[in-house]
Structure 1
Amino acid sequence: MSVLKNLARGALSLSLAAVTVVFAADPPPARAWWAYQPLASVGVPEVKHRDWVRTPIDAFVLAKLEEKQLQPSKDADRAAFIRRATLDVWGVIPTPEEVDAFVSDRSPQAYEKLVDGLLASPRYGERQGRRWLDLARYADSVGYTNDEDRPNAWRYRDYVIAAFNDDKPYDRFIREQIAGDELWPEDQQALIATGFLRYYPDDSNSRDLYLKKYDNTTDMTDTVGTVFLAQTVGCARCHNHKVDRISQKEYFQLQAFFANTSARDDIPAAKGTYELEYDKQQAIWQEATKDIRAQRKAVLDEVRAKAEAHYISRFLDNTRDSLNKPEEQWTPDDRWVNNRNKIYRTEGNLADYLEDSQDPADKERLARYKALNDQLKKFDHLRPKRGTSNSISAITELGHPEAPATHLLFTGSLDQPRDEVQPGIPAILNVSKKQLAIAPTQTSSGRRTALAGFIADSTSSPLTVRVYVNRVWAQYFGRGIVNTVSDFGRAGEEPTHPELLEYLANRFVADGWSTKKLHRQILLSSVYRQSSAYREDLQSADPDNKLLGTFPRIRLDAEQIRDSLLVASGKLNETRGGPSVFPPIPATAVTDNRQGRYDWRASVDESDYNRRSVYIFTKRSQPYPLLNTFDMASADVVHSKRETTTTPLQSLVLINSDAVFDWSRALAGRVLSEAGSKQSEQFERLYRILYARSPDKFESNALAQFLNQQEAAIRAQLPSGQFAVALPVGLKNDPTPSSDPVRLAAFVDLTHSLVAANEFVYRY
């Protein structure tokens, strides 16, 4: 019997009476750090150039500029503004018609109408949802060696998108994701919300389930600390934090809030379109394969007892002890281990016995079993659509209030447990010194409810509010007021505009934790409206643009590039929600198919190829190549901030990607159909679609020159009378009198060149 098992046996059961967690006094030196202070009431500063101030935000920024004798930049022109705002709020470029409508609207409320329209669109939720999924380390697969699908994950993705579109108060959003199962057990959306905790990378082949439990609770602890509190709490797992005043004991007290959490993937989903279709298709498959499956089961039944023993023998001693124990004797640890085993145990695990057995009779059984498997595969086309399910995944507490014991671990090693600890918040984070009441119920420890209540309270945890408004600010300006968006500790950067951060935090709470109102304030500010034109005086005085005297030019992120290409080409499929889709990927991207790990089969429905990027299947072992090239979020950890790299591969992908070229052909066809036969109007339409502006005289001449040169180059390479060239697609009429295919092919190349240009892939 292992040390951990003995500790588990001796764990005290929680009574159903409320337990109060009392916090230690916070040492005075730590209290001096700005991030751990209560929210402060701040006044709007007085500035000289009041005419520039449209919102209180502007006064805070302008005051800093005036201290350095600097002036803000003039307003961006309207076409540039709507392109910028649409990319930021929707994640796609606007149409020329949307640009025209805004530019021609001279009413005093023009900007307000634009911003309100952007925030009211479901595209807003898709864009904001993707930002949150970065933090939630969202993926549609498990990770590690086998990287199996998670067919329920899309429900969490849709929950997040809907939450932003509905402007769900952020404090409610927090509570649902940390403790939805405890607070609203009958609300399916609240259960789905706990996917925030559930979708950690996992290893279905783990042989030490006690270690796996430790890994999972560590992941949840670190994720909550990073996302909501911007604290590097994980640094205190192996030793006292070297920078922030968080002890190792306090780390494990925080981890104790998650001690009783366990995943479930089999909660029945309400019967909607996808669930009914799944049930229908599953019934068809089961009926067609029932004889084969019965024969396969019969083979295993001949050796089931041996196979079960062989399967359990591969686990470590402490795990085997739990799996062999009768249910009536289970401790809280045993309960977790057995539930975890149920998630990943399959008939295929038992068949491994036949693979390992040296008995001739078992070799014959293995041959029969494999032959039946081959027969079964012939019916794969009858299975439900990949990624669909009739159940949901969630974090639960398995119907029991008694939690496994949590111990301080010497050097963070599971094999070296020390004193048992109870749930608690690091003293440095509990600004108000609030006493946290934990109220177990008949079915739950109540621990996560208490934690969620603490985090979602601006009085006890002002960090929560500061961290979130800072994340939103960073979306728009490329850097946060605190540039280290997930580290508000002493190792992080101090705020450039501390009073502005306090103002935004206080206003956010006063506005009912409304995310849309926060976005609206920023979008309507003069700071956001500034031109991005280069200024020598600002470059000299503020090279990193920390004072925001000009609007920062930022390369679009991966999803913005792909989705904007779809909009430009006229091919965007606006279908929303549902199981994730599989656009085609280059054959060269499939380098290894061991155990189906790289099983990327393009969706049967080709319209799925043009869905928004947020709906593409996120496979941890094989990210979608086009997005991965442009720095899409890693799904293995909390992805706090999108990196902006510049690599030759990015240019090569835009030039050589079949998908980008196909979209360029569609864009060429769209332009020729909409602009007619006049070359100048074709150039005008192309620029306005891609860049929201008209080409100047120099550019028009350069375009014409390129077109002529490309036509000549293509013609020189083709045998006389043969035109094996890529033509525009989707032409609705004859754009030229001659319909010269070589000229049309040259126009495709021109279009493709402009798609790959910096101006398209940057927001300015």
Structure 2
Amino acid sequence: MTGRQTAIFAALLAAGVLAGWCGSARAADVPPAGAAPANAVATNTATAADLEFFESRVRPVLVEHCYKCHSAESKSLKGGLRLDGRDALLGGGESGPAVVPGDPAKSRLVTAIRYDDPDLQMPPKTRLSDRQIADLAEWVSRGAPWPEQGAPASPAGPAGGAGSVESFDLWKRRDAHWAWQPVRPHDPPAVRDAAWPRGPVDRFILAKLEQNGLAPAAPADRHALLRRVHFAITGLPPSPEDLDAFLADPAPDALDKVVDRLLASPQYGERWGRHWLDVVRYSDTLGNETDLPIHNAWRYRDYVVRAFNADLPYDRFVLEHLAGDLLPDPRRHPRDGFDESVIGTAFYWLGEGRRSPVDLRLTQADAFDNVIDVTCKSFMAMTVSCARCHDHKFDAIPTSDYYALYGYLKSSRYTQAQVNRAELDAQAAELASLRSKIREAAGAALRRRAGSVSAYLLAAAEVSHAGARPLAEVAAGAKLDPTVLERWAAALKEPAAVDVTHAMYAWQRLAELDPAAAPESVNAKWQALLADAKASADGSAAAAVRREGDVELADFRGAGFEGWLPQDQSFGPAPLKPGDFLLGADANRPIATFVRGGAWAHSAFLSPKLEGTLRSRSFTIDGRYLHVSAAGQAARVNVVIDHFVMIQDPLYGTLRRVLNGGAQWHTFDLAMWQGRRAYVEFADTTTPDLHAMGAPAGVGPDGHAAVSRVVLSADAAPPPSVAPQAPVALLGADSVDSLATLAKRYQVAVNESLDAFGAGRLDALPDGEARAMLLAWLVEHGLLDADASPAAGRGPDEDRQVLASLFEQFRATESKLPAPQRVPAMADGSPDEEHVFVRGSPKTLGPSPEPRRMLQAVAGPVAQQPPAPQTGSGRLELARRVADGANPLTARVMVNRVWHHVFGRGLVPSVDNFGALGEAPSHPELLDYLADRFVKDGWSVKRLVRELVLSSAFRMSSTAAEAADAADPDNRLLHRMPVRRLEAEAIRDTVLAVSGRLDTGRMFGPPVEIFLTPYMDTYGDDYGRPKTSGPLDGDGRRSLYVMVRRNFLTPMLVAFDAPPPLNTQGRRTVSNVPAQALIMMNDPFIAEQAKLWAARVLARNELDTPGRVRLMYRQAFTRPPADDELAIAVRFIDRQGGELGIPEPARATDPRVWADLAHVMMNVKEFIFLN
């Protein structure tokens, strides 16, 4: 604290100002979420969060790494120490207690796993991971919570993991626990005080109070009520104008009108969207070592805000989260038309991420575990992840259910989905239509131009012989275009023509003969060429036979992609077959080339400006080498092992190739991945991979990827190449006695090929590939660009005009293609179910895969559930079961979350855990009444919020009679409205609001970079530190729009308990620590905003000093100052001006004095608390 700040607060303390102000708000009623009771260390009375932490993060480590030597199952108990029960831990072994609850530094277990003592290192052969060590130390610091007393029975068998004393009975547990039971509608109960209830909710609350001999607190005053309702709905304080309007409205529905206005404001979605982001652990970065960005995560944040503002039915919200990419009726943005539904699936990818770990499968299993944990807690408030290593210790969740859910993730893919896909699809369809018209027009035009092929061939042969007439003379004599004839002559001399598969192989070989050669000699040469062609065909047939041991993963010769999964527009509806064409850049030559050399999945099918990906189905790596025949430009191919997409050089650089060149074999050595599951991905998108800071080197816009074959093999050499069909076969087998005869044969072959091309059936012909090679050679050499003897009808100029018009339309449409707007999302993969990991280890698998299905406690036994689909992931079917109104959890959980945010405490206080370790509902009938109504009201969150904030319960004062507090000290019965501290974001936003700096008009878009404090600067470039700092005030944006960097969280928000984005946290901790006071007194942001607030107040020239103080009170506290408060503040202005040496006449208008007063008012408890 600076000397000036010390003087400010000393003066106020002497005057009794802070003592009075700070005492004006009651202490917050909500205990820290997850905080252990004071006697937790001694008695093991841990919270649900502590026990969940033990089950998910500690017990699996003990089971895997310690129980072999230190449990009841040990053949020889080492050191007399058992680690399979809390009493055994505390009793210790030969060297004393293994754990001192609450003190990791004094616990021998922690010392051993940290390898701090060279004589005490456990496990002895392999050190635990840093995370496992940190988890065990954290567990000890929490008091070593353990759900079982005494030593447990021996661990269970192959189903995995340590068993409990009581055997697992799923149906007994289901039937015994309230949360699994169907929602039962209840009529609101009768009450004695019929005047108090405003609706059914109040009757449930009042009935419970009356049963316990209590009465509700008196109504809150209108100032407190208005502030309360503004923060509940928008997270922002009411303005003085809002206060004046409310106080001036005597109508009975005055509050109703305020509530309806706030619910209709865009700030409602920002407030309630922020609540939801806690549930799905939202972050813009991945954390861990380099804190890489989650590309485009902000689109999900905006989606959530829009969903709440639009009052999207919650069941639809759930469907979009779990399977928004698969919905048959994707929801479109009402103005911009982009796909809202697919954005919901981004929540899957908001967790932490590590790139290139040593154990890919374990790291991916940890990532999937986080997804399962967040998914099940978010929508069903069940700790399903506690069944990762063993059957759940307390809830009706067997470990087989956990791996059934795992299969849905394993059958899906990470992608960067296009949200504006509909717009791009429409443009792509227009391009496809124009492309078809170009093919028809070009086929007809080329057919007319090709009438002189035989004449050009004979003329080119003539000029190629020694002593021939000059080319111009030959062209004139034959009435041919000399420029085109020159091209013919040059093209026929190219060295490649000596290959039997070359389009002009036969012509070049016969043209080598003397022009006066006898017909018999010509035919003999011709027969030899036919023999060469047959030998080539026989060799191709042999090469086409699959090499023993090879597994062909890609065969695009069929009608479609044959099990491969194309995404977005670039790869088109089907692979390109021989005879398909690619457009060029010249309107005079719109067809650049024809496809040959087999079938190709080609992402420039329509345009290189379109983007997309192509993924294989999952396969088991049972061959060392993966051979990929591919070409491309500015594109990439990835081999994804165990679904782990964050592979990064240099550790695993062999799993990615950048495609920048012609067709060639790319070989991946997969020796270290034998037996693993994998898939192959081709991408020409400019969006970087998940692990990358930017696009990989060599990857850029307008790229393309083309793939013809993917082969898994034990052989290091690629498979033999299959030679294309020899065009000689198009010329017939009859004898040829002269070049003129052969020229006519070429003319017929060209004519027939162009007819087939124009009709769109070239690829259907058995010799279509040979015909495509012939046409490609003619087009690529510009040999059909002009025709000296056009056929009757349309001439070359007219052909050019028609083609130029179509081509210009195509390029104009192409130029209007919008840039893809992308978001991290889920895409469907191939069905891929998972085995149970015995004791949670992916190295030890159960006997058979678990079929994908819903939790049995919700959907019934496995045999009664419909089988998962045999194509795709089945996530849509799962989503429908989760969002079903008959699911006993989903509606209850969301209703409880809303209640928690309105009243500060849920009807079930453990909002993320409805299991046996969670807390029982305080008003079970009310919970079921609201859940039933919620479903029947169309799952409307806004209606529910409105009903609750307009209730008499919400309008109660936070002050109650002492007798009521004594009878209900925790306020479980809601005899008064609890006092609540504002959340971190609401505090920061309120500071901006009173200063006048808050910009509520700007919503959505990429996040504002965080402000780097000097402390953050000390990290250098480590841990993903941003290159530049954002503005101190976040550019005046709401806290929602400030970037969430896992490694660089905003200090003010952290101090006020903004949760680290690691897991679901529907109920925030509410702490009271010195850092909060230090932030409010010393943070440069607070000081800057105090100055702006002072300037804002001083700008009101019509106000005197008392008037300005009154304005500040109304802005900060939504009430006028009491007389003594006003007097103290006015006196402070004068005294502080004297402290600063300001002449007396100027003190009342000096901005420094008013900034100091503003700073003090921000430090008043009432500023950050709601009464």
Interval containing the TM-score (normalised by the shorter chain): 0.7 to 0.9
Q: Does 1:426 align with 2:855?
A: yes
1:339-488 map, 5 Å: 343-344=690-691, 390-397=820-827, 400=829, 402-419=830-847, 420-430=849-859, 435-437=864-866, 440=869, 444-445=872-873, 447-459=874-886, 461-488=887-914
1:567-716 map, 5 Å: 567-574=993-1000, 575-595=1002-1022, 597-599=1024-1026, 601-603=1028-1030, 609-674=1035-1100, 676-715=1102-1141
Asked if the contact 1:261/1:395 (under 8 Å) is kept, the reply is no
Query: Residues 646, 231 of structure 1: CA spacing in aligned structure 2 closer, same or farther, 3 A cutoff?
Result: same
In structure 2, distance between residues paired with 1:675 and 1:61: 50
Q: Which stretch of the first structure deviates more once superposed, 201-210 or 566-575?
A: 201-210
Query: Percent of counterpart pairs with the same letter?
Result: 34
Of 132, 136, 142, which aligns to 2:286?
142
Equivalent residue number for residue 275 of structure 2? 131
Equivalent residue number for residue 245 of structure 1? 396
1:90-101 map, 5 Å: 90-101=234-245
Of 925, 944, 950, which aligns to 1:518?
944
| Residue 454 (structure 1) shift | 0.5
Tell me which of the two structures has the higher relative contact order, counting C-alpha pairs closer than 8 angstroms and 6 or more residues apart.
1
Asked if the contact 1:37/1:462 (under 8 Å) is kept, the reply is yes
1:288-323 Cα distance to aligned partner (Å, 9 max, x none): xxxxxxxxxxxxx9xx99xxxx98883499999x99
Of 501, 521, 532, which aligns to 2:958?
532
Letter in 2 for 1:78: R
In structure 2, distance between residues paired with 1:507 and 1:436: 28
Gaps of at least 5 residues in structure 2 are 1-167, 332-338, 424-632, 638-646, 658-665, 699-818
| Residue 456 (structure 1) shift | 0.3
Q: Does 1:749 align with 2:1122?
A: no
Q: Does 1:158 align with 2:320?
A: no
In structure 2, distance between residues paired with 1:271 and 1:612: 31
In structure 2, distance between residues paired with 1:434 and 1:84: 51
In structure 2, distance between residues paired with 1:601 and 1:156: 24
1:698-741 Cα distance to aligned partner (Å, 9 max, x none): 212221232232222222xx9xx9xxxxxxxxxxxxxxx94448
1:2-151 map, 5 Å: 27-151=171-295
Query: Residues 331, 119 of structure 1: CA spacing in aligned structure 2 closer, same or farther, 3 A cutoff?
Result: farther
In structure 2, distance between residues paired with 1:541 and 1:396: 51
Say how many residue pairs are matched: 642
| Residue 494 (structure 1) shift | 0.6
**Which TM-score applies when normalising by structure 1?**
0.78
Q: Does 1:324 align with 2:475?
A: no
In structure 2, distance between residues paired with 1:190 and 1:438: 25
In structure 1, distance between residues paired with 2:403 and 2:841: 12
Q: Which stretch of the first structure deviates more once superposed, 631-640 or 97-106?
A: 631-640
Equivalent residue number for residue 386 of structure 1? none
Asked if the contact 1:253/1:422 (under 8 Å) is kept, the reply is yes
Q: Which stretch of the first structure deviates more once superposed, 672-681 or 101-110?
A: 672-681
Query: Residues 68, 405 of structure 1: CA spacing in aligned structure 2 closer, same or farther, 3 A cutoff?
Result: closer
Query: Residues 629, 547 of structure 1: CA spacing in aligned structure 2 closer, same or farther, 3 A cutoff?
Result: same
Asked if the contact 1:438/1:450 (under 8 Å) is kept, the reply is no
Asked if the contact 1:581/1:608 (under 8 Å) is kept, the reply is yes
Asked if the contact 1:319/1:337 (under 8 Å) is kept, the reply is no
In structure 2, distance between residues paired with 1:742 and 1:108: 42
Gaps of at least 5 residues in structure 1 are 1-23, 273-300, 352-388, 722-736
User: Which structure: larger Rg?
Assistant: 2
In structure 1, distance between residues paired with 2:694 and 2:688: 13
In structure 2, distance between residues paired with 1:106 and 1:614: 35
| SS at 1:107 equivalent | coil
| SS at 1:50 equivalent | coil
Q: Which stretch of the first structure deviates more once superposed, 30-39 or 514-523?
A: 30-39
In structure 2, distance between residues paired with 1:708 and 1:585: 37
Equivalent residue number for residue 314 of structure 1? 651
Letter in 2 for 1:428: A
| Residue 563 (structure 1) shift | 0.6
Letter in 2 for 1:393: V
| Residue 192 (structure 1) shift | 1.3
| SS at 1:637 equivalent | coil
Of 485, 501, 504, which aligns to 2:930?
504
Equivalent residue number for residue 490 of structure 1? 916
Q: Which stretch of the first structure deviates more once superposed, 118-127 or 424-433?
A: 424-433
In structure 2, distance between residues paired with 1:234 and 1:121: 38
In structure 1, distance between residues paired with 2:375 and 2:1015: 38
In structure 1, distance between residues paired with 2:370 and 2:682: 20
In structure 2, distance between residues paired with 1:348 and 1:681: 58
Q: Which stretch of the first structure deviates more once superposed, 413-422 or 121-130?
A: 413-422
Asked if the contact 2:355/2:648 (under 8 Å) is kept, the reply is no
Q: Which stretch of the first structure deviates more once superposed, 753-762 or 632-641?
A: 632-641
In structure 2, distance between residues paired with 1:438 and 1:42: 35
1:127-153 Cα distance to aligned partner (Å, 9 max, x none): 011011111111111111111122301
In structure 2, distance between residues paired with 1:486 and 1:346: 34
| Residue 675 (structure 1) shift | 6.5
Equivalent residue number for residue 592 of structure 2? none
Letter in 2 for 1:487: N
**Which TM-score applies when normalising by structure 2?**
0.52
| SS at 2:846 equivalent | strand
**What is the Cα-based RMSD across aligned positions, in Å?**
3.4
In structure 2, distance between residues paired with 1:680 and 1:403: 72
Asked if the contact 2:1098/2:1149 (under 8 Å) is kept, the reply is no
1:206-232 Cα distance to aligned partner (Å, 9 max, x none): 344333432232222111111111111
In structure 1, distance between residues paired with 2:180 and 2:692: 46
1:547-566 Cα distance to aligned partner (Å, 9 max, x none): 11111010000110011111
1:139-169 Cα distance to aligned partner (Å, 9 max, x none): 1111111111223011000100000000000
Letter in 2 for 1:631: D
Asked if the contact 1:85/1:523 (under 8 Å) is kept, the reply is yes
Asked if the contact 2:417/2:825 (under 8 Å) is kept, the reply is no
In structure 1, distance between residues paired with 2:1120 and 2:689: 62
| Residue 204 (structure 1) shift | 2.2
Letter in 2 for 1:229: M
Query: Residues 704, 433 of structure 1: CA spacing in aligned structure 2 closer, same or farther, 3 A cutoff?
Result: farther
Asked if the contact 2:1012/2:1030 (under 8 Å) is kept, the reply is no
| SS at 1:264 equivalent | strand
In structure 2, distance between residues paired with 1:150 and 1:349: 16
| Residue 390 (structure 1) shift | 4.9
| Residue 462 (structure 1) shift | 1.6
In structure 1, distance between residues paired with 2:408 and 2:833: 11
Structure with a larger share of its residues in helix: 1
In structure 2, distance between residues paired with 1:646 and 1:597: 30
Letter in 1 for 2:852: P
1:12-55 Cα distance to aligned partner (Å, 9 max, x none): xxxxxxxxxxxx99524531211111110211111111100101
In structure 1, distance between residues paired with 2:908 and 2:182: 17
Asked if the contact 1:222/1:232 (under 8 Å) is kept, the reply is yes
| Residue 623 (structure 1) shift | 0.6
In structure 2, distance between residues paired with 1:64 and 1:248: 39
Query: Residues 313, 89 of structure 1: CA spacing in aligned structure 2 closer, same or farther, 3 A cutoff?
Result: closer
Query: Residues 347, 50 of structure 1: CA spacing in aligned structure 2 closer, same or farther, 3 A cutoff?
Result: closer
Asked if the contact 1:37/1:431 (under 8 Å) is kept, the reply is no
Query: Residues 620, 312 of structure 1: CA spacing in aligned structure 2 closer, same or farther, 3 A cutoff?
Result: closer
Letter in 1 for 2:377: T
